[in-house]
């Protein structure tokens, strides 16, 4: 009997569940904090972080409503009055070009009784008119008219609630927080690495969307490591020289990639181009890198040959790949002739929208200067594969058999990401 009890104790506890029953409003915060405290650094997260509705709600409040999010490219808003909606969780944001080229991001919530104002995903408006009782707002959110309001009504108190907006080399970021986090050094580095690519004057050649049946953190973790590149992405490995050494860490491929990088960096610097990585601090919320694609490859294409006209300040193909990340979900990848900007938007605890946006030179003409199939080949095939493996990852994580698993040497970025994430959602004292 005694032994049986001891044996029972030795069995690891079942996955902690975080349901409404276990944690009603009063103890919900405490339960999430217990889970955070139980996290083993260097391991994936416990199951509820990838599946639970209450933690998803916390993610929305502490991560997505507090941080800078990439929402789209400036070429979607060429003329005054052009707008598009950015929808995330319960929030809908009108991103609109107002007077004097100014961009605004406004909560799509009428200040009368709260109706949505813009119902179409994009379009052009001279003013923003609520379809319910016709309160009318200027493109900067100021209330212009509100019929039949009583004497003393002060329209200036009822502007649409704004978000912070920042444009980084043509990429529009918004932040819903009252006081956005100070990410100036991250944006400065992004500007430096993006500038040569000329994205501010680019156009969207194509955008594709995938609905991934997984929590947003599984999508981000997958995008943040190349441990899976060997098994999952034969095409990516055939293009990117870093992929196999990053998968296996075998001595010879690692050494040969280091030699290729040293040769390429010398050439890139002779051309006056950037190379290497900033910042050096691995715990920073952002990173920018420039590395070689592969010996003899000029761009990220099936045979390494150009797929579009050179962009920005590049006068020749240097065979480099530029990439960047800013927590929580902002990324870019760019070659000398095109760029791909992913947008990861949580839709629910186990659903995430992945959008890939391909940018080319603004004057490039389809079928004359670029072929969409060739341009989109690498990141389309890679994202198709990523959707499949991340869907399968979520299915396994949902099992009663799932436990936190250890990250490999090539997944150390995930150790840092999960630590940052847990810090964000922790109950503030
Ligand atoms: S809710 Fe918008 S005008 Fe009434
Ligand atoms: Fe992948």
Q: Which of 26-30, 79-83, 209-213, 246-250 has the lowest mean pLDDT?
A: 26-30
In which band, very low, low, confident or very high, does the pLDDT at 7 lie, cut at 50, 70 and 90?
very low
**272 CB contacts (<8 Å, ≥6 apart)?**
none
pLDDT the model gives residue 30: 66
* Dihedral, CA of residue 295, residue 300, residue 305 and residue 308, to nearest 10: -150
Task: Judge if the beta carbon of residue 248 lies within 6 A of ligand 1.
Answer: no
Do 410 and 254 form a contact (C-beta atoms < 8 A)? no
Cα–Cα dist 108/95, whole Å: 9
- Confidence (pLDDT) at 28: 63
Give all domains of the chain, ordered by start, each with its CATH number. Answer: 79-165 (2.102.10.10), 184-424 (3.90.380.10)
Task: Please report which confidence band the pLDDT of residue 27 belongs to, taking 50, 70 and 90 as the band edges.
Answer: low
The pLDDT of 217-221, averaged and rounded, is 98
Mean pLDDT of 306-325: 98
Q: What is the pLDDT of residue 9?
A: 38
pLDDT at 3: 44
Distance CA(205)–CA(222), nearest Å, equals: 25
Q: For ligand 1, is residue 145 a contact (CB within 6 Å)?
A: no
310 CA to centre of own chain: 25
**Pocket flag, ligand 1, residue 113 (CB < 6 Å):** yes
Quote the pTM value. 0.93
Nearest ligand by distance to the CA of 378: 2
Residue 21's pLDDT is 39
Answer whether 135 contacts ligand 1 (Cβ < 6 A). Answer: yes
Q: Whose CA is nearest to atom 3 of ligand 1?
A: 133
d(CA 100, CA 114): 28
Pairwise CA distance, residues 96 & 101, whole Å? 10
How far apart, in Å, are the Cα atoms of 319 and each of 167, 169, 237, 299, 316?
27, 22, 16, 6, 9
Give the rounded percent of residues in the chain with a pLDDT score beyond 90: 88
Ligand nearest to the CA of 146: 1
Least confident segment among 25-39, 64-78, 345-359: 25-39
- Tracing tokens 């923003």 back to the chain, one arrives at 128
Question: What's the CA gap between 174 and 67, in Å, rounded?
Answer: 8
Q: Residues 131-189: pLDDT tens digits?
A: 999 999 999 999 999 999 999 999 999 999 999 999 999 999 999 999 999 889 999 99
| Whole-angstrom distance, CA of residue 387 vs CA of residue 152 | 56
Distance 298 CA to ligand 2 centre (A): 22
How many CA atoms does the CB half-sphere of 20 hold within 13 Å?
2
- Choice among 26-40, 66-80, 254-268, 299-313 with the minimum mean pLDDT: 26-40
């Amino acid at each position: 009997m005694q032994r049986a009890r001891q044996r029972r104790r030795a069995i690891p506890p079942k996955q902690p569940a975080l349901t409404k029953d276990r944690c009603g409003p009063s103890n919900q915060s405490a339960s999430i904090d217990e889970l955070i405290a139980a996290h083993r650094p260097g391991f994936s997260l416990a199951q509820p972080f990838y599946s639970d509705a209450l933690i998803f709600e916390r993610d929305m409040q502490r991560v997505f409503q507090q941080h800078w999010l990439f929402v789209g490219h400036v070429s979607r808003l060429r003329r005054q009055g052009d707008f598009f909606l950015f929808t995330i969780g319960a929030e809908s944001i009108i991103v609109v070009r107002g007077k004097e080229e100014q961009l605004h991001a406004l909560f799509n919530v009428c200040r009368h009784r709260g109706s949505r104002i813009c119902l179409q995903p994009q379009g052009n408006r001279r003013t923003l008119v609520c379809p319910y009782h016709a309160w009318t707002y200027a493109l900067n959110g100021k209330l212009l008219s509100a019929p039949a309001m009583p004497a003393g009504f002060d329209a200036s108190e009822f502007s649409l609630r704004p978000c912070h907006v920042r444009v980084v080399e043509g990429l529009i970021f918004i932040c819903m927080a009252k006081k956005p986090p100070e990410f100036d050094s991250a944006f400065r580095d992004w500007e430096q690495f993006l500038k040569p690519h000329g994205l501010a004057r680019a156009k969207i050649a194509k955008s594709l969307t995938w609905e991934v049946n997984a929590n947003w953190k599984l999508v981000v973790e997958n995008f943040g490591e190349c441990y899976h590149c060997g098994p999952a992405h034969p095409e990516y490995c055939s293009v990117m020289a870093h992929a196999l050494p990053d998968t296996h860490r075998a001595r010879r491929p690692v050494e040969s990639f280091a030699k290729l990088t040293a040769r390429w960096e010398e050439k890139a610097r002779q051309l006056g181009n950037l190379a290497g990585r900033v910042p050096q601090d691995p715990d920073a919320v952002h990173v920018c890198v420039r590395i070689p694609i592969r010996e003899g490859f000029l761009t990220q294409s099936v045979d390494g040959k150009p797929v579009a006209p050179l962009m920005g300040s590049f006068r020749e193909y240097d065979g480099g790949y530029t990439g960047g990340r800013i927590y929580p979900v902002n990324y870019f990848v760019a070659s000398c002739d095109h760029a791909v900007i992913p947008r990861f938007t949580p839709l629910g605890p186990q659903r995430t929208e992945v959008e890939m946006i391909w940018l080319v030179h603004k004057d490039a003409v389809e079928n004359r200067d670029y072929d969409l199939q060739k341009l989109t080949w690498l990141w389309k095939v890679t994202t198709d594969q990523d959707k499949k493996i991340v869907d399968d990852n979520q299915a396994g994580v949902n099992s009663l058999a799932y436990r936190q698993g250890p990250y490999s040497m090539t997944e150390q970025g995930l150790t840092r990401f999960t630590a940052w994430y847990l810090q964000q959602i922790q109950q503030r004292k």
